[in-house]
Structure 1
Amino acid sequence: MPIPPVVLAPGVTSPTDGEYPPAVRPARGVNNVPASTVQVPAPTNVVEASKRLAAWTAVDMHVTKDCQVIGIGSGSTVPYVVERIVSQGPEVNKDRVFIPTGFQSKELIVDAHLRLGDVDQYPHIDVTIDGADEVDNDLNCIKGGGACHLREKVLAEAADTWIVVADYRKNSEVLGKTWKQGVPVEVAPFAYAKVLHNLQTLGSTGPKLRMAKMKAGPIVSDNGNFVIDAPFHEQEMKDPLTLLTRIKMLTGVVEVGLFCHMAKAVYFGNQDGSVTAKHYDGKTDQIDKPPSPTAPPAAFAGAYAASSGVFTD
């Protein structure tokens, strides 16, 4: 899709077509290496390797040449997403715009020398790739462990295609099986006590205001709000869309970390080095030979055999 022009204030000129706007701060690489050439450190354990496999495979399949506005999500898997996008090369990335879901993804975009945009400039996104705290059999997700779920949901809804990447630990039959902390609920600060009471009335078993680790007081989201973690019984979690609707209707609630009927596909990196891809139509692919660190992105090298779901050399 063509990128719409940026609305500028009077007297401010647009940069020449095809050129980056001037940098507002120096590149922050590692050991004085330019940021655009720095790679994410190689995984040192099975979980990190699984995250990288999921991220790389999702990028190869969905961040194609015609994707010009790309949403970058939050979480521990997302650095590998950016790493794989950078590997597609500067020529492909020079005209793209990348929209972050929070401070972490904004820093990843800037440090990789990718062009930073915002959803108010680009309300229509080609593809957004994000992580998740847990995913059920119907691709419903719990998100918000990093307190970014309001902006994450905005970018998910703004995208033509919303893709989730995660490691094998996040693959669950029913939400709440592995993510025990509860449903993240972002609330207006002055209403948090009322919302805590309302969540108990809805059946939440011990909702709690999320407290900061290294400061006195509660976590404050990028939007200046508080976050409540609200556990529910398995029966309620089996119907996350109904639960989402009930929580969202509470006055004082800004957003709920239940993402229902939104993902087009979820990619899970597995312990054995394979990737499981679950699609919204119920189809599941087992990718036994994901991309290697030395291979070019498959979407650009034509190396992915879609019919078999196996990467070819």
Structure 2
Amino acid sequence: MASKSLIEQAKQACAYAAVDNELKSDAKVVGIGSGTTVVYVVERISQRTDLKDTIYIPTGFQSKQLILQYGLRVGNIDEISSIDITFDGADEIEPSLNCIKGGGACLFQEKLIASMSKRFILVADDRKDSEILGSRWKQGVPIEVSPYAYLKVINDLIALGCQNPLLRMGAPAKAGPAVTDNGFFIIDADFGIIKDVVKLEAQIKALVGVLDVGLFPGMAEKAYLGMSDGTTKTLLRAI
């Protein structure tokens, strides 16, 4: 069997470190996000023998299937009031742990789970590490919108300064727009370098037709970044 690439080794290393350091045996409810690094989070959790009574809340179809694949107990969001800790990936993370998420079209549910969590931990490889949002992630800020309102929202985003907001398409696997688990569309809006994450998130979210926006300011407590040399870099949010 071929050995893992350096990137995959980095993802595994940071995911394992996050689980080992942050997931305590008394955790009753754990949120599981999406993305390739989160696969290693669930893999590591499945190796633990002290979490047999823990319930896992998925942020979408992908993470639900992952939880089931590893024989863990899936919970329903409408049956719990809070989550002890959530592990999730990110598309870009800056030093204060503001991040862009939604590249994989899981957005609203990820933010919902994060907002219900006492602790929100990011896991990613060092390609996602950035000095300022928008400098490395060039695809734009993902925005989940009602199909009925997508054209109106595109025009609103242009008015906010986005040069070329694009409706994300499902090709080559699907003809037409990509559709989220909520039956919504995704618009990718490139605002270039984002100097005020909080302000831009509020401006976009205030637009009629927007369900949520893939800017996550002030939500993550800690980030584990897998480095290309096999080490793990840890970032803490300044309180």
TM class, shorter-chain normalised? over 0.9
Q: Say if 2:207 is the partner of 1:253.
A: no
Q: CA deviation at 1:177?
A: 1.1
Residue from 73, 76, 91 that aligns with 2:33: 73
Residue 135 of structure 2 contacts residue 192 of structure 2 at CA under 8 Å; is this kept in 1? no
Q: CA deviation at 1:93?
A: 2.5
Q: Say if 2:63 is the partner of 1:105.
A: yes
| % identical equivalent positions | 50
CA RMSD of aligned residues (A): 1.2
Residue from 240, 245, 249 that aligns with 2:197: 240
> For residues 151-197 of structure 1, what are the alpha-carbon distances to aligned partners after superposition, in whole Å with 9 as ceiling and x for unaligned?
00001010000000000100000111111000000000000000000
CA pair 42-241 structure 1, distance change in 2 beyond 3 A: farther
Give every structure 1 segment of 4 or more consecutive aligned residues whose post-TM-superposition deviation is greater than 2 Å. none
Q: Say if 2:175 is the partner of 1:216.
A: yes
Residue from 19, 24, 29 that aligns with 1:59: 19
Residue from 48, 51, 72 that aligns with 1:93: 51
Question: Secondary structure at 1:227's aligned position in 2?
Answer: strand
Residue from 111, 124, 140 that aligns with 1:166: 124
Find the aligned partners of 2:88 and 2:3 in 1 and give their Cα distance: 19
Residue 43 of structure 1 contacts residue 49 of structure 1 at CA under 8 Å; is this kept in 2? no
Residue 96 of structure 2 contacts residue 238 of structure 2 at CA under 8 Å; is this kept in 1? no
1:264-283 matches, within 5 Å, as 264-281=221-238
Q: CA deviation at 1:52?
A: 0.6
Ranked by relative contact order (alpha carbons within 8 Å, sequence separation 6 or more), the top structure is 2
TM-score (norm 2): 0.97
> For residues 101-153 of structure 1, what are the alpha-carbon distances to aligned partners after superposition, in whole Å with 9 as ceiling and x for unaligned?
01111001111111110111113000000000000121001000111110000
Find the aligned partners of 1:42 and 1:264 in 2 and give their Cα distance: 35
Q: Say if 2:115 is the partner of 1:157.
A: yes
Find the aligned partners of 2:13 and 2:33 in 1 and give their Cα distance: 17
Find the aligned partners of 2:5 and 2:196 in 1 and give their Cα distance: 35
Higher gyration radius (CA): 1
Residue from 79, 86, 109 that aligns with 1:121: 79
Find the aligned partners of 1:206 and 1:43 in 2 and give their Cα distance: 41
Find the aligned partners of 1:136 and 1:105 in 2 and give their Cα distance: 25
Q: CA deviation at 1:233?
A: 2.7
Matching residue's letter, 2:117:
A
Matching residue's letter, 1:142:
I
Find the aligned partners of 1:227 and 1:169 in 2 and give their Cα distance: 23
Residue 72 of structure 1 contacts residue 128 of structure 1 at CA under 8 Å; is this kept in 2? yes
Matching residue's letter, 2:33:
G
1:276-291 matches, within 5 Å, as 276-281=233-238
Question: Secondary structure at 1:83's aligned position in 2?
Answer: helix
> For residues 44-96 of structure 1, what are the alpha-carbon distances to aligned partners after superposition, in whole Å with 9 as ceiling and x for unaligned?
2111111111101111111111111000000010110001101112xx22211
> For residues 243-285 of structure 1, what are the alpha-carbon distances to aligned partners after superposition, in whole Å with 9 as ceiling and x for unaligned?
0000000000000000000100001000111111000128xxx
Q: CA deviation at 1:42?
A: 8.3
Matching residue's letter, 1:258:
L
Question: Secondary structure at 1:81's aligned position in 2?
Answer: helix
TM-score (norm 1): 0.74
Residue 60 of structure 2 contacts residue 181 of structure 2 at CA under 8 Å; is this kept in 1? yes
Find the aligned partners of 2:181 and 2:48 in 1 and give their Cα distance: 30
Structure 1 residue runs of 5 or longer lacking an equivalent are 1-40, 283-313
